Amino acid sequence: MLISDRTRQRGTVAIIAAIALPILIGFAGLALDGGRLYVHKTELQNAADACALAASRELTCDPAAGACANSYLINAENAGLTVAGRNFIDFQGTAVGSAQLTAADITFSTTFAPASSYLSRAAGASPASKYVKCTPHQSGILPWFMEVLGFGGQTVNASAVATLLAAEINCAIPIGMCKLPSAPASAPFTGLTIGQWVTSKLSQSSTGAFDWIDFTPPGGGASELADLFRGTGACSVPKPPAVVGEQGNIASLNTAWNTRFGLYKGSDSITTATPDYTGYAYTITSWPSKFNAYSGSNGAIPNFQTARNQHQPWQGNVAAGTSINLGGVTQSTQPQLTTYGADRRLVTAPVVDCTSFGGGGGGNTTVLGYACVLMLAPMDKDNDEVFLEYRGKSTDVNSPCATSGAVGGPLAEGPLVPALVQ
């Protein structure tokens, strides 16, 4: 009996399907599982970038001022973990946590060098490090299709390196630090010494004095300036030379100023206006030399770096030599400064020619440059004599000041801001 062609071909489709099915699954796996891994990689990269930028903001120790404390690395770790935790993975379904990033995954180096030179804090990284690398990871990602072909859980990694670089634009507090009368406008830092204290009272002397500054004349006013002290300062401030307004003595700015020392009044609180890591104050009483409270020595009195590392709160009127009216004032405690504190007293301030102020009143002046200064003590009244400590140009490579802003090019002259370098 002759067998028909149809009978002889019976089962061929099943064989072809059996051969093609793994291939089809493989292509589907490459497209869908590969795409899923790519999404994970992108999400982890966002967390890595955010971690590195936040951590680099804390690497502000100046080795020339003395040995750098481990607290700089601790603060960098905490900042990196906190900001990375605000990112999500797995198609934005799960927050980045300890399964993806730990302190051991945040490493540091004093130079931009090969990955092998980066060490975690626990492994002995230098507190004087200027580069930070964050390496989040996600393991156990089970494929949707490729598991059929024997592929198990997959691991995805991401990394980013950041440091502090000169900015094109920046944020600054609304205080104008006066250049010395003998300093030319073309070299406004002439004659100033790092560690020198400068006073706020123009009525006593224009030498080293400062006064309120309005970056947006003729608008602004007290509420705008107060918000700048509670927040990050005035951002996108003009490059030198630029004309700015002078506000004179303005009511209620002392309340906003004092939030950076952990002292709160009215509607301000530690959750709405971030304090510094320390509220410890430096005045003629607590630091008679009036020089280098940042890293100097004065017997048993801790300098700013020590107080910062220990999160010491404001020591009170008697010990500090201040006269703060404590009615309705909430004072931050050491645990609160440890939890909520940030780098808030080392700030960027514009340098101006205060002789144009004429001892107060309205009028404008010209920003000649930007300085890194230390806010030394809280204020009682808006017309108090308040001191700042000059810590050099904000553009110095080892400046202890870092701010926010856009990274500039090779010739940028702005203060240091976090920047991704890898």
Q: What are the pLDDT digits (tens) for 20-63?
A: 566 665 555 556 666 777 888 889 999 999 999 999 999 988 88
Residues 110 and 255 in one domain: no
54 shares a domain with 30: yes
Residues 382 and 253 in one domain: yes
Which residue is associated with the tokens 């795409």?
35
Evaluate whether residue 47 is within a structural domain. Answer: yes
Residues 375 and 245 in one domain: yes
Same domain for 152 and 224:
no
pLDDT of residue 261: 96
Q: What pLDDT band is residue 421 in, cutting at 50, 70 and 90?
A: confident
Across residues 223-240, what is the average pLDDT? 80
Is 315 a member of any domain? yes
Residue-wise pLDDT tens digits, 82-126:
999 999 988 788 899 988 999 999 999 998 888 778 999 999 999
Confidence of residue 165 (pLDDT cuts 50, 70, 90): confident
Mean predicted lDDT score pLDDT of the chain: 82
385, part of any domain: yes
Do 53 and 101 belong to one domain?
Answer: yes
Tell whether 337 is covered by a domain. yes
Choice between 384 and 240, residue whose per-residue pLDDT is larger: 240
Can you tell me the mean pLDDT for 195-201?
80
pLDDT at 361 over 50: no
Confidence (pLDDT) at 221: 65
Over residues 378-420, the pLDDT tens digits come to 988 766 677 899 999 888 877 888 877 767 766 666 677 888 8
260/376 same-domain check = yes
Q: Which of 148, 167, 186 delimits the end of a domain?
A: 167
Can you give the chain as a three-state secondary structure string? CCCCHHHHCCCHHHHHHHHHHHHHHHHHHHHHHHHHHHHHHHHHHHHHHHHHHHHHCCCCCCHHHCCCCCHHHHHHHHHHHHHHCCCEECCCCEECCCCCCCHHHEEEECCCCCHHHCEECCCCCCCCCCEEEECCEEEEECCCCHHHHCCCCEEEECCEEEEEEEECCCEECCEEEECCCCCCCCCCCCCCCCCEEEECCCCCCCCCCEEEEECCCCCCCHHHHHHHHHCCCEECCCCCCEEEEECCCCCCHHHHHHHHHCEEECCCCCCCCCCECCCCCCCCCCCCCCECCCCCCECCECCHHHHHHHCCCCCCHHHHCCCCCCCCEEECCHHHHHHHCECCCEEEEEEECHHHHCCCCCCEEEEEEEEEEEECCCCCCCCCCCEEEEEEECCCCCCCCCCCCCECCCCCCCCEEEEECC
Residue-level pLDDT at 204: 43
Please report whether residue 128 resides in a domain. yes
- Residue 5 in any domain: the answer is no
Q: Are residues 137 and 200 in the same domain?
A: no
**Residue 76 pLDDT > 90, yes or no?**
yes
Looking at the 3D structure of the chain, how many domains does it have? 2
* Judgement on whether residues 136 and 229 belong to the same structural domain of the protein: no
Contact 361, 247 (CB under 8 A): no
**Is 260 in contact with 344 (CB distance < 8 Å)?**
yes
Is the pLDDT assigned to residue 245 strictly greater than 80? no
Give percent of the chain with pLDDT exceeding 90.
Answer: 40
Please say which residue of 129, 144, 167 terminates a domain: 167
| pLDDT of 249 higher than 60 | no
Enter the pTM of the model. Answer: 0.75
Q: Do the Cβ atoms of 197 and 389 come closer than 8 Å?
A: yes
The most confident of the ranges 38-47, 125-134, 225-234 is 125-134
Closest CA to 159 of 254, 45, 256: 45
Q: The domain containing residue 350 runs over which residues?
A: 170-400
Q: So what's the pLDDT on residue 359?
A: 46
Which of 127, 144, 167 delimits the end of a domain? 167
What confidence score (pLDDT) does residue 31 get?
62
Query: In terms of domains, do 116 and 214 share one?
Result: no
Q: Counting beta carbons within 10 angstroms of the beta carbon of residue 398, is it exposed (0 to 12), middle (13 to 18) or buried (19 or more)?
A: middle
Is 421 inside a domain boundary? Answer: no
CA distance 184 to 182: 6
Q: Is the same domain home to 186 and 334?
A: yes
Alpha-carbon distance of 320 to 337, in angstroms, equals 18
Q: Which of 60, 48, 253 is nearest to 162 (CA)?
A: 48
Same domain, 162 and 189: no
Is residue 296 in a domain? yes
Q: What is the structure's pLDDT at 220?
A: 60
